[in-house]
Amino acid sequence: MHLIVGLDESASAQAALGGALRMAARCGATVEAARSWAYGSVPMQQLLPPEEMDRLAEEGLRASLAGLDAASVPVRATVLRGPAHHALLGLIEHRHPSLVVIGRRGGDERAAPRLLGSVSRRLVEAAPCPVVVVSDDPAAAADPPPVVLVAVDGSEHAARALRWSVDFAKQVGASIVLATVIGLADSAAGATKLSDDAHDMVERAAATVGSAGVAVSTVVGVGDPRHELERIADDHAVDVVVVGTRGLGPIAKLITGTVAAHLSEYADRPVAVIPPPAQ
């Protein structure tokens, strides 16, 4: 298992690095910390040679990694050239990591502290592997065993997120909370039908998780899935929330533009977005 972490001088990036190291320590993964540089809009005569820019970027990267020598996980430092999202996507294509961990916003995006920055947003949209987005003020991670919240809705996107979560949980020794959210019904009979269908769906999913040897519990919420999943994550003190890019099931519509994007931008806990299979 290989993890790539995008680093700059921001608090979000440092939180992402810390999360990646904790994850790697549990499952024996390797970690690669990458930092990129690109020329800004300055007069040409003021531009430093690329080799000097590489050196400065490596100095900044080494500073970010300072104090990690005593950590149990060795970190490979990589300097990239070009805009961060392009450079990181190129590295992802070359390395084929199991997971990419990125801060919610970079050092030059502090004006929007709760929103995804351009780099994290583009990686969530374009990376061919799962991307974990970490806030710079995440809730404190629980000591072992970690807890993974998986949003399910009966769709193939959610099923793919669940399969990834089971593999991940087995590697890091985590338990899984399966959560689905139903909307308000027009009648008592309709509400009962929605609730029964939702419970049946999560119980079937829980049986699959249990058969894989992973401890599992289930929750059915009512309301807006964006806010209900945040509440459930807080109630269960989960360490990471896992969602598919979109859902098309009858229970809840976990659509990229709503649930996955909302959690990536606003949740206080790390959010893993699982992409569709590569075309």
Tens of pLDDT, residues 60-99: 898 888 866 545 788 999 999 999 999 999 999 999 999 9
Lowest-confidence range among 147-151, 159-163, 244-248? 244-248
Both 125 and 152 in one domain: the answer is no
Q: HSE on the CB side for 184, CA within 13 Å?
A: 3
| Angle, helices 11-27/156-172, rounded to nearest 10 degrees | 70
Both 97 and 185 in one domain: the answer is no
- What is the mean predicted confidence (pLDDT) over 266-277? 88
Higher pLDDT, 184 or 111: 184
Considering its fold, how many domains does the chain have in total? Answer: 2
pTM for the model stands at: 0.83
pLDDT of 45 > 60? The answer is no
Binning pLDDT at 50, 70 and 90, where does residue 211 land? very high
CATH code of residue 11: 3.40.50.620
Residue 119, domain extent:
2-134
Beta bridge partners of 203: none
- What is the mean predicted confidence (pLDDT) over 47-56? 90
- What is the mean predicted confidence (pLDDT) over 135-155? 75
Higher pLDDT, 245 or 75: 75
Both 58 and 158 in one domain: the answer is no
What pLDDT score was predicted for residue 266? 86
Chain-centroid distance, C-alpha 265 = 11
Distance CA 28, CA 33 (A): 16
Our CA angle for 122, 127, 133, nearest 5°, is: 65
pLDDT of 141 > 90? The answer is no
Is 141 within the bounds of a domain?
A: no
Q: Which alpha helices (H) appear in the chain, and where do they start and end?
A: 11-27, 50-65, 84-95, 118-126, 156-172, 188-211, 225-235, 261-266
Lowest-confidence range among 36-45, 149-158, 222-231? 36-45
Phi first, then psi: give them for residue 109, nearest 5 degrees.
Answer: -125, 30
Both 238 and 171 in one domain: the answer is yes
Q: What single letter denotes the amino acid at residue 16? A: A
Dump pLDDT digits (tens) for 86-135: 999 999 999 999 999 999 876 554 444 444 567 888 898 889 999 999 98
Is 254 within the bounds of a domain?
A: yes
pLDDT of 278 > 50? The answer is yes
Beta bridge partners of 81: 37
Domain boundary among 134, 158, 189: 134
Dump pLDDT digits (tens) for 157-176: 899 999 999 999 999 899 99
Is 244 within the bounds of a domain?
A: yes
pLDDT of 191 > 70? The answer is yes
Both 231 and 120 in one domain: the answer is no
Dump pLDDT digits (tens) for 215-228: 999 999 998 888 99
Coil/strand/helix, residue 230: helix
Q: What are the tokens at 70?
A: 């005593």
CA distances in angstroms from 276 to 85, 242, 245, listed in the order given: 19, 14, 7
Is 6 within the bounds of a domain?
A: yes
Both 78 and 161 in one domain: the answer is no
